[in-house]
Amino acid sequence: MPEVNLFESIKRYICKCAFGLSLATNVEALLKMPMREYHVSLPMKMDNGKIQAFQAFRVQYNDARGPTKGGIRYHPDVTIDAIRGLAALMTWKCALHGLPLGGAKGGIVCNPKELSAGELERLSRAYIQALFQIIGPDKDIPAPDVYTNPQIMAWMMDEYSKIAGKTTFGVVTGKPPALGGSPLRQDATARGGWYVIEKACQDFGINLKGATVAIQGFGNVGSEAALAGQQLFGCTVVAVSDSKGGILNWNGLDILRLLSHKRETSSVENFSSGRSITNQELLELGVDILIPAALENVITMENVGSIKARMIAEFANGPISSDADDTLQQRGIPILPDFLCNGGGVIVSYFEMVQNMNLYQWDEEKVEEHLKKKLIQAYHNVYSLAQKNTLSLRQAAYTIAVQNVVEAMRLRGWI
């Protein structure tokens, strides 16, 4: 199977929407290039006393709209091209949701499941030591992504503060609430995604109450999505999976019990009240709503013909390759694009930055109210443009986001 490259997909999307925006060729070329990228190696003493070097990256894709923002992922499959694609997506995400921020992404090539807590801490501190000069509350602000979490953000904030000689809460977001973190940040991506699904179901004639849902991924986003879908939105979550495998029960899974099963066995596999399925089978289920909430490129030309869901909500970044996206559009399956649907995470990260600047903590109600307002507004903008110009939701979202970035570049005098 030819390897699907996320960054190439993103560049194709820019071309597709650039057509509608009539961008000059040089502007389009600029949008397809990261502005800055850093490649570092992080030598670290392992628990066995040996030194091991880890490869790490930070890509600051575009800072026309403000300091760059985006998560850092720890994963063995991290590549510079994937990080470039994810950094570009962060640029569109912040622009679509009207945040005064640019886009960035970072990654360390490692398998955190094989590292001890001490090794994880030393690696996270090493990342900050290596990149201290180029990050900061008004430069570039990392956050959690795949296999990183509030504890890692706490270590990073501490390391940055030690080097800077002052407590600097605002250098990373997604911190624990006891250290300048925002209420609701942990649930924000999943909760926000459901607000978008709720609106889209009204527009596309799907009854959310009792709708069948399959979720690929049971990490931070996937597990919160399952819980919120069942408890807050009245859906029947029939299948979930993680990297080891999946579980299906057409009568609905008991998500709270499944969460404790996962805590005990570190997988959803072999959950007693359901039957085992593979990740591939989960993607191909005939459900009302399919939520890919794990990694990029899980729906490609290889399996797109078998997709039967009535609607797809991309909680992961880049889960559908651009050619598979064309096929699904032709089949008329509504797709709620990643940087619309999963923007809740960075929106609450932005609220966290605002709270850190004022050394103040909002209450949960205020965060929820502002989060909901922003997501519904973004969905409304995307849906109306799509309706008006017969575009897919993704094309409409790209058009708005790229236009916002281009306007900032023009006003700064860059183009």
Q: Which residues bind ligand GLU (CB under 6 A)?
A: 69-71, 143, 145, 173-174, 317, 342, 345-346, 349
Are 140 and 105 within 8 A, CB to CB? no
CB closer to ligand GLU, 56 vs 253: 56
Q: How far is the CB of 174 from ligand GLU (least distance, A)?
A: 6
Q: How far is the CB of 69 from ligand GLU (least distance, A)?
A: 5
Cβ-proximal residue to ligand GLU, closest one: 71
Q: How far is the CB of 237 from ligand GLU (least distance, A)?
A: 22
Give the closest residue to 63 by CA, choosing from 96, 99, 103, 9: 103
Catalytic residue among 93, 105, 262, 374: 105
CB closer to ligand GLU, 228 vs 307: 228
Q: How far is the CB of 8 from ligand GLU (least distance, A)?
A: 19
Q: What is the DSSP string of 102-166?
A: EEEEEEEES-GGGS-HHHHHHHHHHHHHHHGGG-BTTTEE--B-TT--HHHHHHHHHHHHHHHTS
CA-CA distance, 114 to 264, in Å (whole number)? 18
CB closer to ligand GLU, 112 vs 345: 345
CB closer to ligand GLU, 31 vs 143: 143
Q: How far is the CB of 342 from ligand GLU (least distance, A)?
A: 6
CB closer to ligand GLU, 217 vs 345: 345
Known catalytic residue at 105: yes
* 245, β-bridge pairs: 242
CA-CA distance, 104 to 91, in Å (whole number)? 7
Q: What is the DSSP string of 190-257?
A: HHHHHHHHHHHHHHHT---TT-EEEEE--SHHHHHHHHHHHHTT--EEEEEEETTEEEE-TT---HHH
* 47, β-bridge pairs: none
Torsion of CA 332, 338, 341, 344, to 10 degrees: 180
Within 8 A by CB and 6+ apart from 170, the residues are: 137, 141, 180, 353, 356, 357
Q: How far is the CB of 265 from ligand GLU (least distance, A)?
A: 27
CB closer to ligand GLU, 186 vs 342: 342
Residues with a known catalytic role:
105
